[in-house]
Amino acid sequence: MRTPISDKKVAIVTGASRGLGLAIVRGLCRTFRGHVYLTALNSEEAEDAISQLRWEGLDPKFYQLDITDKCQVEKLGEFLKNYYGNIDILVNNAGIAYTSKDVESFSTQAAMTCRTNFYGTLHVCKILFPLLRSHSRVVNISSNVAKIAMAMCSDQVRDRLTDSNLTMTELQQLIHSYVKATESGTQVEEGWPITPYAVSKIGITVMTFIQQREFHQNIRSDIRSDIVVNACCPGFISTAMTRHRGTASPDQGADTPLFLANLPMETTSPCGDYVMNREVQSWG
């Protein structure tokens, strides 16, 4: 086995060249004793963000990453394995949201939104979770629109999404069924809310519950301990994604994600939860 080059701890933030992701990187650079990676698709935008943070006296690192590109995600995993051996914090922030001005068909928007926000995040987790060391913290950025949208689901869909025995494969099948329904325009009849962004964030949140449950179920076969995964709503933030209509700044929005990323050792709550304003919220 190749010896890692660095013995530093490491934190990874996806979709971090601006807005909330950039604010989370800023906060981690101030509080985390290790290397903090700002990952982003747009390298020019990321370079500007890195320069801004360095002007503030911080020292983030950059890795170009498109979470929908499986090869890029796998290369990131290989890099981290070879250079660090393990990782300590993973914040899954990367995502997209369409607006009423976008010209793509609704089914295309649904497919692309779920492909990025849900399936892209899931693949990042698949590749990087084996690198999590004991006491690692994972934060999946969700949204309160997902919680609101749960009330718009049919009883049948909602019961499936809140089933404590739901597997990750079954969750993927559910999200796939929504995307397929949008192709024929039958998503409402089949029990789904209309908005693709909300559905993708429902997927992110339920994914979180399953991930934590899997860590608990594998506790006897996995030598690692105290790995905590949580989902959170950062609030209504003024960013490019919200078209700057939000009422909170990105740094304010980063408060709960940073709180979860820095949870102390042996945390029992929040753990596998949906969190807003640092408080565990009911779901479903």
| pLDDT tens digit sequence for 167-184 | 999 999 999 999 999 999
pLDDT at 23: 97
Containing structural domain, residue 217: 10-98+120-142+200-280
112, part of any domain = no
Q: What is the mean pLDDT of the chain?
A: 94
What is the per-residue pLDDT for 6? 72
Task: Name the catalytic one among 84, 119, 178, 197.
Answer: 197
pLDDT confidence of residue 194: 87
Is 50 a member of any domain? yes
Are the C-beta atoms of residues 11 and 87 closer than 8 Å to each other?
yes
CA distance 234 to 109: 23
Task: Give residue 238's pLDDT.
Answer: 67
pLDDT at residue 245 in the model: 73
Is 37 annotated as catalytic? no
User: What percent of the chain clears pLDDT 90, i.e. is strictly above it?
Assistant: 87
pLDDT band at 4 (very low <50, low <70, confident <90, very high): confident
The total domain count for the chain is 1
In a domain, 240, yes or no: yes
What mean pLDDT comes out for the span 210-220?
A: 92
The CATH number given to whatever domain includes residue 207 is 3.40.50.720
On whether residue 193 sits in a domain, the answer given is: no
How far, in Å, CA of 140 to CA of 158, rounded? Answer: 21
Full-model pTM: 0.96
Strand partners, 37: 12, 61
pLDDT of residue 248: 82
DSSP-assigned letters across all residues of the chain: -PPPS----EEEESS-SSHHHHHHHHHHHHH-SSEEEEEES-HHHHHHHHHHHHHTT---EEEE--TT-HHHHHHHHHHHHHHTS-EEEEEE-------TT--S-HHHHHHHHIIIIIIIHHHHHHHHGGGEEEEEEEEEE--HHHHHHHTTS-HHHHHHHT-TT--HHHHHHHHHHHHHHHHHT-TTTTT--S-HHHHHHHHHHHHHHHHHHHHHHTTTT-S----EEEEEE--SB-STTTTT--SB-HHHHTHHHHHHHTPPTT--SSSS-EEETTEEE---
Per-residue confidence band for 2, with pLDDT thresholds at 50, 70 and 90: low
Q: What is the mean pLDDT of residues 209-217?
A: 96
Mean pLDDT of 143-157: 95
The structure tokens listed for 267 are 């945390």
Domain membership flag for residue 37 = yes
Residue 149 lies in a domain: no
- 228-247 pLDDT per residue, tens: 999 999 988 866 666 667 67
Would the pLDDT of 1 be above 70? no
* Higher-confidence position of 4 and 96: 96
Domain assignment of residue 57, yes or no: yes
pLDDT (mean) for 65-73: 98
Task: For residues 10-30, give the mean pLDDT.
Answer: 97
Residue 239 inside a domain? The answer is: yes
72-92 per-position pLDDT tens digit? 999 999 999 999 999 999 999
Tokens of 131: 């690198």
Question: How does residue 52 score in pLDDT terms, banded at 50, 70 and 90?
Answer: very high
